[in-house]
């Protein structure tokens, strides 16, 4: 079921892939337990599929579960130690995927995205931007600018750039993310609203208050939604 599920995912048959991988995961848990390495290796595959379907919260749940179980297995400390061990595991996962699948595989891009989020959680924003940019470039090349996976990374990159005070670049990322999301979702969809909410936060808007052109551009952009 695992191989068939991954094949379905590569062909874009995400509903079938999700069903097969979930069945394989339950079997794996019963046979080896939820903390076994082969069980943990399946969770990122499920997260990838959910991202492709636009189910970002569910995908995040699988990623968090993977990290939590891996950290428990490693006996990691809380707080900063937790992120250090999580990052080590994510880097190892990335290296293994790249070795097995090649540098241009969609799962490798997803691993880079995960590494970027962990760097961001540690406050290492420049490294987060570096890995996020690599992941974004790969997703654009592999699935296109309007794919929901690309939009998800653009949303995250907008947040990273906002944290570093690069508001022009952040707005561009958010605009691109919304353009893609609105091709698939209604304006009231939580994923769309999440991006609009980030643009509307006080620190972001205040950065534009002294520049009339930028402030007007931002207002028009939000009004169009």
Q: How far is Cα 149 from Cα 107, in angstroms, rounded to an integer?
A: 11
**What is the pLDDT at residue 148?**
84
- Residue 56 half-sphere exposure toward CB, CA atoms < 13 A: 16
Judge whether 154 and 178 are in contact, CB under 8 Å. no
Half-sphere exposure of 100 (CA within 13 A, CB side): 10
Residue 223 has a CB neighbour count (10 Å cut-off) of 7
- pLDDT tens for each residue of 121-171: 888 999 999 999 999 999 999 989 988 889 989 999 999 998 898 988 988
Rg value, the chain, Cα: 18
Distance CA 45, CA 70 (A): 15
140-to-11, 97, 104, 132, 134 alpha-carbon distances in Å: 17, 19, 11, 12, 10
Residue 114 to residue 4: CA distance in whole angstroms: 25
For residue 105, report the phi and psi dihedrals to the nearest 5 degrees.
-85, 145
CA angle 203, 139, 123 (to 5 degrees): 40
pLDDT tens string 170-182: 888 998 998 888 8
Positions of the chain with pLDDT lower than 70, given as ranges: 1-13, 37, 51-57, 59-60, 63-64, 66-83, 201-225
pLDDT (0 to 100) of residue 118 = 83
Domain ranges for the chain, please list them. Answer: 144-225
What's the length of the chain?
225
Report the C-alpha gap between 31 and 34 in whole angstroms: 9
Q: By three-state DSSP, how is residue 104 classified?
A: coil
Q: Which residue has the tokens 């707005």?
A: 171
C-alpha 36/C-alpha 20 separation (Å) is 19
Q: What b/e readout covers 93-120, taking b as 16+ CB neighbours within 10 angstroms?
A: bbeebbeeeeeebbbbbbbbbbbbbbbb
């Amino acid at each position: 079921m695992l191989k068939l599920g991954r094949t379905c995912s590569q062909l874009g048959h995400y509903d079938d892939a999700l069903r097969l991988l979930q069945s394989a995961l339950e079997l794996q848990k019963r046979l080896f337990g939820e903390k076994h390495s082969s069980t943990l290796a399946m969770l990122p595959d499920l997260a990838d599929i959910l991202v492709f379907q636009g189910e970002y919260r569910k995908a995040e749940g699988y990623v968090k579960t993977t990290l939590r179980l891996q950290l428990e297995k490693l006996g990691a400390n809380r707080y900063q130690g937790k992120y250090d061990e999580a990052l080590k595991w994510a880097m190892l996962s990335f290296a293994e995927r790249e070795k097995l699948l090649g540098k241009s595989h969609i799962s490798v891009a997803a691993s880079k995205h995960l590494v970027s989020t962990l760097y961001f959680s540690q406050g290492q924003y420049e490294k987060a931007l570096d890995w996020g940019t690599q992941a974004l470039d790969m997703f654009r090349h592999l699935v296109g600018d309007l794919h929901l996976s690309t939009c998800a990374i653009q949303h995250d990159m907008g947040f990273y750039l906002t944290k570093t005070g690069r508001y022009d670049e952040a707005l561009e990322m958010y605009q691109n993310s919304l353009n893609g999301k609105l091709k698939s979702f209604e304006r009231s969809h939580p994923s769309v609203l999440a991006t609009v909410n980030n643009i509307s936060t006080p620190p972001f808007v205040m950065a534009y208050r002294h520049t009339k052109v930028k402030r007007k551009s931002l207002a028009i952009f939000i009004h169009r939604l």
